[in-house]
Amino acid sequence: MDKFEKITTGLGEECGVFGAYDMSGGDVAPTIYYGLFALQHRGQESCGIAVTDTNGERKVHFKKGLGLVNEVFDSESLHALNGNLGVGHVRYSTAGASKAENAMPLVINYVKGVLAIAHNGNLTNAIELRHELERTGAIFQTTIDSEVIAYHIARERLKAGTAEAAVRNAMGKIKGAYALVVTSPRKMIGARDPFGLKPLCIGKRDDTYFLASESCAIAAVGGEFVRDVEPGEIVTFTKKGIQSDMSMAIDPAKHARCIFEYIYFARTDSTIDQVNVYHSRIIAGKALAQSYPVEADLVVGVPDSGLVAAKGYSEASGIPYGMAFHKNSYVGRTFIKPTQNERESSVKIKLNVIEEVVKDKRIVMVDDSIVRGTTCANIIRMLKKAGAQEVHVRISSPPFLYPCYFGTDVPSNEQLIAHSHTTEQIRELIGADSLGYMEVDKLKEMVGDLGYCDACFTGNYPMEVPDGDISHAFD
């Protein structure tokens, strides 16, 4: 980023998608704005909204840019986006650099009209598909794999009778993780990868239908949750109603939902595939208490995703639960700092310890993950500086040992502290008095009978994956 450095206090998020179709003809841009606002935790680098009027000319109005939703849009720009069908997107750059041209939705003009596409996930065969398209004359405007999907849908639409058939044919070519919201001049289409790696759900408010990455976004706009889009399902919304196509579905035994949705990504008030995220994190905390008991005075969670797991640990252990940190809510999960030597102080910008709460106490600190170890070490130092006698760290995920190829910003092996260090070595490096990770076989307790992907912990990928890092293959 030129002279600036991107600092993250943990994992990089995924992306969030939100679609709306008002059958009665009302403008949907303000609703999409609030839906994206509710999904802001899934990405803070860029956002965008694209709308069309199903009763008017086949034209798409859109606006997108770098920054938070409330930074990119104001009331004036929202009111300029006239249309009763639209799609929005919040982005974190798991593939492709953080720059304006990579913001979504992507708007594609072609001989059949205009498509607007929002995508959450990563393709595993994007490089091959892009090279194939380039050899046949395609010119790419971005460095994101989502454009590969857009091109394939547009090309398939030239041969297919409907937009949804084009989406289905494109799904036969793309591999990896995706939740898609596609709008054509008269339709809203949602599609989910056959493994169910990325979440997508349907909502309704009066005459307006919604597609969203999480149920919390539907609730935020006053809608009612209808159901999840099934893995491999294509749903099409027209004025005639909703159609479902399950032809791309696979054996449910092969489903592989991202377990990190339940550990970290999703908002605590969301329900994904009928599993409540809050409940999952309570279960995780209780499992940690059973596996790693310790004598302590207080259980605290690192905001935000560690808070509920900490409550679960407290309930199972009988150790009181407390709030040890003040979080600066005006800083996103990702922010810019001028120089690398200020990395250590970056945590303090986001979190500060409430000294009165932790002084002279033995603390159990619950967090969702340890990636490189630097953030965790900084937080422990802050706790001990504030007077904590002991800090016992409990992590509601197993150690990261393998990279993710499906849209979670888990870095290469060399950057994963657990890849080259034992748990005891990590404990020493971060300065904890004890350290316990979630046991892999207890992840199942969080989601019950759902099939899930835990490849970043086990190396057991649900599909063939590339040999190396593909996240910036087109930069």
Contacts of 73 (CB under 8 A, 6+ apart): 33, 47, 49, 63
- Please give the Cα distance from 367 to 198 (Å, whole number): 23
Q: What is the pairing mode between strands 362-367 and 298-301?
A: parallel
- Please give the Cα distance from 376 to 374 (Å, whole number): 6
- Please give the Cα distance from 157 to 153 (Å, whole number): 6
- Please give the Cα distance from 438 to 262 (Å, whole number): 13
Q: Would the annotation count 201 as a binding residue?
A: no
95, 126 in Cβ contact below 8 A? yes
Output the CA–CA distances (angstroms, integers) from residue 334 to 6, 9, 13, 136, 266, in the order listed: 7, 7, 9, 38, 16
**Catalytic residue from among 15, 47, 216, 376:** 15
For residue 414, the 8-state DSSP code is G
Q: Would the annotation count 47 as a binding residue?
A: no
Catalytic site includes residue 376: no
- Please give the Cα distance from 154 to 82 (Å, whole number): 24
- Packing angle of the helix pair 374-385, 423-430 (nearest 10 deg): 50
* Residue 242 CB neighbours (<10 A): 14
- Please give the Cα distance from 124 to 462 (Å, whole number): 12
Q: Would the annotation count 367 as a binding residue?
A: yes
Q: Would the annotation count 368 as a binding residue?
A: yes
Amino acid occupying residue 433: D
Q: Which helix (H) or strand (E) covers residue 295, if one does? A: none
User: Whose structure tokens read 């939705």?
Assistant: 105
Tokens of 310: 């900490």
Which residues are 435's β-sheet partners? 393
Tokens of 219: 């609730």
Binding residue positions for [4Fe-4S] cluster:
258, 404, 453, 456
Binding residue positions for Mg(2+):
305, 367-368
Binding residue positions:
258, 305, 367-368, 404, 453, 456
Which residues does the annotation mark as catalytic?
Answer: 15
